[in-house]
Amino acid sequence: MTISFLTLFFGLITGSFPIELAVNGPAAAVELTVDDRASARLPGPPWKAKIDFGRELAPHRIVARALDAGGKELGRAEEWANLPHPLTKVEILLENVTAGVPKAAKIVWTNLQGEKPESMSMTFDGVPLKLDPEGRAAIPSHDLKTIHILAAEVRFSALRMVHRDVAYGGEYGSEVSTELTGVPLRSRRGRLPAPDKLAGWLLTQGGEPLAVAAVEEGPAQIFVVRVSSVAEVADQMGGKGFRFKRDRFSMQLGKDDQVRFVQPIPRRVAGSGALSDLFDISPVYTARDSGLPYALRNLGRLVTMPTALTDVPPEPRIADAVAVAGLEAMTENRRRAVLLLLTGNEARDASRYDAGTVRRFLAALRVPLHVWTLGPPVPGSLAADWGPASELQSSGSLDAAVAALRRDLDSQHIVMVDGRHLPQSIKLGAAARDVELVTAAPPN
């Protein structure tokens, strides 16, 4: 039998949240847990419930277990909240299961922006299957003695498609998948040892050792939330002795490190039967485009996306944008940081979450946060809520702030461990030497 989440856990989620499941097979009940704690039990269809994520913004693991009348597990599915999620989700559901062998499969998709697929396709062990208008295909006769692969591809445009594979049969008997989790470490002695020398360095909270597959040393990513307008940033920096034209390519990060901007005013879009807020993200900029101060002054203007605009909140949501930037910083398992650039006199923030909540969230995600202000924070302004900040009082202080950010990124190493884990569920083992887990606070 198969069980799958139909709900898209996109965005920032706290409190009571509705979920929906697809269950195919003789399940007598479905049990739901959040972070291994019992949350709900569904006695039958419709397979819908509400689960409570609590008031604190944090990553969560949600598990649904299909049970028979005696409480034996027949199948399970898992999802993750407050972790990176694509705008589109594709699942393959196995149907008409007899003696454990499915006779059909169906493609199920959810798209947050309301886009419709241009085409869909599915293969069984590499052989194309014929889909009906609902995305369902009959599966050729087969047994469960060997592993079988179903692959689906949903194309939304010439440039964007979503691929999904499921495997079952053989020693597994049901769907399996292999994933890796990137764990950011900060080293006090340069490069880390080879992956085969890192046994016992990382453990689960329960003390189980995690197998290290690789160490990622590629380019870093920094996500900038710039609250001030481009003109205001240019005016403030121009008045502090920054030699704009001559120093365009000065004060750089690593030559391949990437800078992207997260817009603090979201767009509300209609998709998947509900309204959602999206924070637009700019293209990638590198040292080939400019140094970081030039980028802050001139780059990262609003980039629109092809979605139906239904509403634009009138005020910036600074804290929410910083939280989204933290999620984006985790997406590609690279060295990372978030930079919040304030004028120092902001008085209002229309966010759902406050600065303290978001700082704790970034700490759980293990994404460092740097806060810069264009001048001394005004008493009572929002800048004080974000804690210590680098005040850009002169070209020299700007240079020092960029250098501190560069040191932070250069000290990071991403250790890839087998399986998918909540970032806050991993700790250092006794074997770890001269390293620390990255937190939201940058190093001194």
Q: Would you state the pLDDT for residue 239?
A: 57
336 closest CA partner among 388, 274, 251, 405: 405
Q: Would you state the pLDDT for residue 307?
A: 42
Q: Cis before residue 46, ω within 30 degrees of 0?
A: yes
- The answer for residues whose C-beta is within 8 angstroms of residue 379's C-beta and 6 or more apart is none
β-strand pairing of 336-342 with 369-373: parallel
103 closest CA partner among 150, 139, 143, 146: 139
Domain borders along the chain are 2-177, 221-414
**pTM of this structure:** 0.78
- What gap in Å lies between CA 295 and CA 248, rounded to an integer? 9
Beta bridge mates, 212? 417
Beta bridge mates, 427? 203
**Number of C-beta neighbours around residue 170 at 10 A:** 12
What are the start-end ranges of the E strands in 82-201?
A: 88-95, 104-111, 119-124, 127-129, 136-138, 147-155, 161-169, 180-187
- The answer for residues whose C-beta is within 8 angstroms of residue 383's C-beta and 6 or more apart is 342, 344, 345, 346, 371, 373, 377, 389
Single-letter residue type at 140: P
Contact 269, 114 (CB under 8 A): yes
Arch. (CATH architecture) of 2-177: Sandwich (2.60)
Beta bridge mates, 123? 128, 151
Q: Would you state the pLDDT for residue 413?
A: 95
Q: What angle do CA 168, 173, 175 make, to 5 degrees?
A: 40
405 closest CA partner among 281, 231, 234, 223: 223
Q: Would you state the pLDDT for residue 304?
A: 41
Residue segments in the chain with a per-residue pLDDT below the cut of 70: 86-87, 112-113, 158-160, 170-179, 229-231, 234, 236-247, 269-276, 301-314, 443-444
CATH number of 221-414: 3.40.50
Residue 138 corresponds to which tokens in the numbers above? 């009959």
Q: Coil, strand, or helix at residue 185?
A: strand
Phi, psi of 87 (to 5 degrees): -70, -20
Q: Would you state the pLDDT for residue 160?
A: 64
12 closest CA partner among 287, 314, 328: 328
- What gap in Å lies between CA 307 and CA 351, rounded to an integer? 22
